Amino acid sequence: MIYRSPLPDIEIPDVTLTELVLGTARESGDKIALVDGTTGDSLTYAELVEAAEAGAAGLHRAGVRPGDVVALMSHNQPAYAIALHAVIAAGATVTPINPVLTHREVTGQLTAAGAKVLIAANTVADKAVEVAAAAGVTRVFLLGGDDVSGAPSFETLLAEGGPAPDPDLDPATAVAVLPFSSGTTGTSKGVRLTHRNLVANLLQTRAGWPIGPDDVQAAVLPFFHIYGFTIILNSGLLGGATVVTLPRFEVGGYLAALARYRVTRAYFAPPMLLALARAPEIDELDLSSLRYVLCGAAPMDVEVTERLEKRLGCLIRQGYGMTEASPGTHQVFDAEFPATPTGSVGRLSPNTEARLVRPGTDTDVPPGEPGELLIRGPQVMAGYLGNPRATAETITDGWLHTGDMVRVDDDGLFWVVDRIKELIKYKGYQVAPAELESVLLTHPAVTDAAVVGVPHAEGGEAPRAYVVTTGPVDEGELMMFVAERVAPYKKVREVRFVDEIPKSPTGKILRRVLRDGA
């Protein structure tokens, strides 16, 4: 049984990501495209286009060519959009990087992606220079300010102006963005998203969420994450909205920005719901401009959501997607916000098909029963970078296996029931148990280890480690050992010592046994 969107299919133009997003930007002229919610610095649409074209020309002069990979490591700021679209307009591929990743993790991504250039925020200048040297990246440019650590400012690329080069690209096959995702297997892999994938998803999303010039979008969820990249930044620019950037989520500052800039559309991850539901500042601010609030990246708590809705005076609804789908596949359309129950991820976006199958099979489940969600559509990735086996395991006969158990109710609404895949979602970030297990096993006192996700008040889920040891070691030492080697959001929050790790006859860790026995 194949499920389809109630909305008609849309036409997908044969253009690049930047041609779509900034194609009509000059018409917006002096309208504010992006504003830094912390400093108030702003960028008009005309300035954005001019800077992106100048940046593309500068990158071309620096030796960047179609097919090259340029890494972009920064917090949310208006200059992020300039750098992003400069790289795309130069015909290169962007691999976005989380600035809080450790030196080892960043070096690994740069190496795996084959990055030729690194553009980084000047707040992480020292790290940028060090990881570039370790990964053999030939050039580093810094966003935001004067030269630091011997690396030139990105602004130096803009000095000679445009025009942008005219790369000969096929949008259907040329990779525009290369984010790294743990997918359904728990091992981080480069996700090859073509221009057509992203162009399709932006237009699919726009059909249900018609963002326009009167909208103001709050952008605290990071642009290096596909949610922030597509759904907030590029959807906002495509619609001619104003995007208010914030470098991090801090309750008071975030709410103040919503009020100050009269934000109409806000985007949450589940941990934000709980923090905002408790925030006294809500009662002191005028948030009446809010019309739509979308929550994504992980399932949201219905009771907390309904409590926050009453305080905000605005409905909060949920979407669904994954990096491998650019990311959006399901939406609660603007027109259906009031009629859609809290917790549903809505309906399929246009040009998107879905099946629900029994896990590990190609057998469709009967209507009403939960099954693994399979997705087919133009937004589905071209495949994993250099990993045909993982690609073949994830996409079969054109169907993307999401690893999530989903059901469809009698009204045709989709609901996420459970997760088949082993990934842990901490504050919306993917945490791969296999990565943490590998780190633990390098400790001289650890002979075996397993990591599972357990409920966490602030993060939704958090990693708990089960370890078998041969020597004296305590929980704190092991937690610190892991923390020194991974990004902060990946840290093990609890350690339990066991005599053995339960495994199947084939050696697969039986994580459910660990969770059920907790």
**Please, are residues 94 and 177 in contact by the beta-carbon 8 Å criterion?**
yes
**Please, are residues 434 and 486 in contact by the beta-carbon 8 Å criterion?**
no
CATH number of 13-248: 3.40.50.12780
For the chain, the average pLDDT equals 92
Q: Provide the whole-model pTM.
A: 0.86
- Determine the average pLDDT of the residues in 411-417: 93
Residue 431: what pLDDT? 85
Residue 506: what pLDDT? 44
**Please, are residues 206 and 239 in contact by the beta-carbon 8 Å criterion?**
yes
Residue 182: what pLDDT? 67
Here the tokens at position 6 are 């109630």
Under DSSP, is residue 487 helix (H, G, I), strand (E, B) or coil?
Answer: coil
**Please, are residues 317 and 295 in contact by the beta-carbon 8 Å criterion?**
yes
pLDDT score of 419 more than 80: no
How far apart (Å, rounded) are the C-alpha atoms in residues 201 and 177? 13
What Cα–Cα distance (Å) separates residue 43 from each residue in 50, 119, 214, 341, 501?
11, 19, 17, 38, 55
Residue 183: what pLDDT? 60
Residue 351: what pLDDT? 98
How far apart (Å, rounded) are the C-alpha atoms in residues 74 and 229? 12
Please, how many CA atoms are within 13 Å of residue 9, restricted to the half-sphere of its CB? 9
Choose the weakest-confidence range: 192-196, 482-486, 504-508, 509-513: 504-508
Residue tagged 């650890």 (tokens): 446
What percent of the chain stands above pLDDT 90? 77
How far apart (Å, rounded) are the C-alpha atoms in residues 209 and 203? 10
What percent of the chain stands above pLDDT 70? 96
Residue 301: what pLDDT? 73
The superfamily in CATH containing domain 424-516 is: ANL, C-terminal domain (3.30.300.30)
How far apart (Å, rounded) are the C-alpha atoms in residues 321 and 317? 14
How far apart (Å, rounded) are the C-alpha atoms in residues 75 and 36? 11
**13-248 and 424-516, same CATH topology:** no
Residue 489: what pLDDT? 92
- 471 vs 6, more confident: 6
Tens of pLDDT along 358-382?
A: 988 899 999 999 899 999 999 999 9
- 156 vs 182, more confident: 156
Residue 145: what pLDDT? 64
pLDDT score of 406 more than 50: yes
Tens of pLDDT along 40-98?
A: 999 999 999 999 999 999 999 999 999 999 999 999 999 999 999 999 999 999 999 99
Name beta bridge partners: 142: 120, 153
Residue 395: what pLDDT? 97
Tens of pLDDT along 455-489?
A: 888 888 899 999 999 888 999 999 999 999 999 99
Tens of pLDDT along 93-123?
A: 999 999 999 999 999 999 999 999 999 999 9
- Determine the average pLDDT of the residues in 325-339: 97
Which CATH class, in words, describes the domain spanning 348-419? mainly beta
Per the document, the length of the chain is 518
- 319 vs 421, more confident: 319
From 282, 219, 223, select the one nearest 249 (Cα to Cα). Answer: 219
Q: What is the edge-to-edge ordering of all strands in the sheet holding 320-321?
A: 320-321, 328-331, 347-348
Tens of pLDDT along 295-305?
A: 987 777 788 88
Query: Confidence class of residue 147 from pLDDT cuts 50, 70 and 90?
Result: low
Q: What number of other Cβ atoms are within 10 A of residue 206's Cβ?
A: 17
How far apart (Å, rounded) are the C-alpha atoms in residues 87 and 91? 7
Query: Confidence class of residue 185 from pLDDT cuts 50, 70 and 90?
Result: low
Name beta bridge partners: 494: 464
Q: Are strands 265-268 and 292-295 parallel, antiparallel or unpaired?
A: parallel
Under DSSP, is residue 189 helix (H, G, I), strand (E, B) or coil?
Answer: strand
Residue boundaries of the structural domains of the chain? 13-248, 348-419, 424-516
CB burial of 6-37 (b: ≥16 within 10 Å; e: otherwise) equals ebeebebeeebbbbbbbeebeebeeebbbbbb
